[in-house]
Amino acid sequence: MTAAIPFAIPFTNTYARLPERFFAPVAPTPVAAPRLIRVNRDLAGLLGIDPDWLAGPEGVAVLAGNGVPEGAEPLAMAYAGHQFGNRVPQLGDGRAILLGEVIGRDGLRRDIQLKGSGPTPFSRRGDGRAALGPVLREYAVSEAMAALGIPTTRALAAVLTGETVQRETALPGGVLARVASSHIRVGTFQFFAMRGDVDGVRALADHVIGRHDPDLAQAENPYRALLTRVIERQADLVARWLLVGFIHGVMNTDNCAVSGETIDFGPCAFLDAYDPAAVFSAIDENGRYAYGNQPGILHWNLTRFAEALLPLLAPETEDGIAVAQDLLAAFGPRFEAAYYGGLRAKLGLATVRDEDLELAGALLQAMSANRADFTLTFRRLGDAALGPEGDAALRALFADPAAYDAWATRWRARLAAEPMDPAARRAAMNGVNPAFIPRNHRVEAVIEAAIARDDFAPFHELVTVLARPYDDQPAFAAYAEPPQAHERVLRTFCGT
């Protein structure tokens, strides 16, 4: 039985006030022998939670699901979705429980959720648990995304359960405490739309507007304004993903948050060698969610969101479709502005010229043809921007260095038309071109150390390095290097 814990987390819940069909009340299932792996002390402080308490016995009991703090109203959220394009009318939180919401010291409301906390009414015969590997992966990658400046859910803490979970083999179990602006997804809206529950769609939309976009309440049609706002957030988000080489891996509509945050880090990965067709997810057999497909998939997901909102966009269905199509047409220009603007910054270009897009495309084409490392190519461009003496390390990334030479001649001619001082340009480029990303082989190595040897030192070091992705960290230079041939990770796996 889950124990009650005295007040220590300042919960102030709103989702639990929605109608009962929005969720199922359910308490976490206690575990045998919880043990703390890591507490995100800075995030705890932001949420108004004492990190020392959270790392202590009562806090670890809460993080593991062995205790429910006063003020929490644990529940599993209902949602539906399209998975790999297939309509699924009911999904829901099958291994996650929302403890409640807190208003942080910055005035923003956030959810605190436990992943791997036991079965719920939505578990679909699953055990509701999480293996240690996916817990460590999500902690490391989500915190890396936050440090990169990309909207994302965050990791508050990770714990061991002292129990095993059975997947293909028996694995140690873990629980991740996840923090999000909200866990409301496109699939949450679809849950009600697929049932013809217009009142449910409206109540959810009103909740999202009140929580994320209160300014939209004054719009002539707040629901049209909400669709526009979500389109804008998602267009900006997917552009940011591409600019750091991130592949989500499973962009189903139930993994698409209306807040515009990156959510659910299952079979995700970062590019090593640049390849727009790259797929790492073992469950994405046809490459639906390949790196270069992500903008198109986001537009597809947003079309499903618009379909769910149709009754709120106009009184007549045909009119609603026309409104939706008009608003969705803005996705492409919004994405292109964010993506190409980001590429210009990565190339050190502060002004805009028509030929810039072709110049950026030529570099990407040369990188793809020569298997050049995505992250290191752009990072080393900062040194090359100071002068040709910085070319050597960059040329070495290309199977045929002459491909870089030909492009660099054009690039330097373009830089000559820029007003920025070379040193200032290099600093600006290093501010958008990270040196350190959660490389797949590094993430797998820390998981292996934890599972095989109960050694979490590599995990802690990786998280520390990734917290400063744009800084030169000479002591950790090896973390910036791409994998050797025998270290390459070709497949990533979903935590379920």
Report the catalytic residues: 254
What residues form DSSP beta bridges with 158?
Answer: 38, 176
Beta-carbon contacts of 185 under 8 Å, excluding residues fewer than 6 positions away, are: 79, 81, 253, 254, 255, 256, 257, 258, 263
Q: How many residues does the chain have?
A: 496
CA dihedral 430, 434, 436, 440 (to 10 degrees): -160
Q: What is the 3-state secondary structure (H, E, C) of 418-457?
A: CCCCHHHHHHHHHCCCCCCCCCHHHHHHHHHHHHHHCCCH
The neighbour count for residue 232, using CB atoms within 10 Å, is 16
The DSSP letter of residue 483 is P
Q: Which of 285, 279, 282 lies closest to 247, judged by CA?
A: 279
Contact 275, 155 (CB under 8 A): no
Helix (H, G, I), strand (E, B) or coil at 496: coil
Contact 60, 90 (CB under 8 A): no
Helices 331-346 and 422-430, interaxial angle, to 10°?
130
Contact 291, 241 (CB under 8 A): no
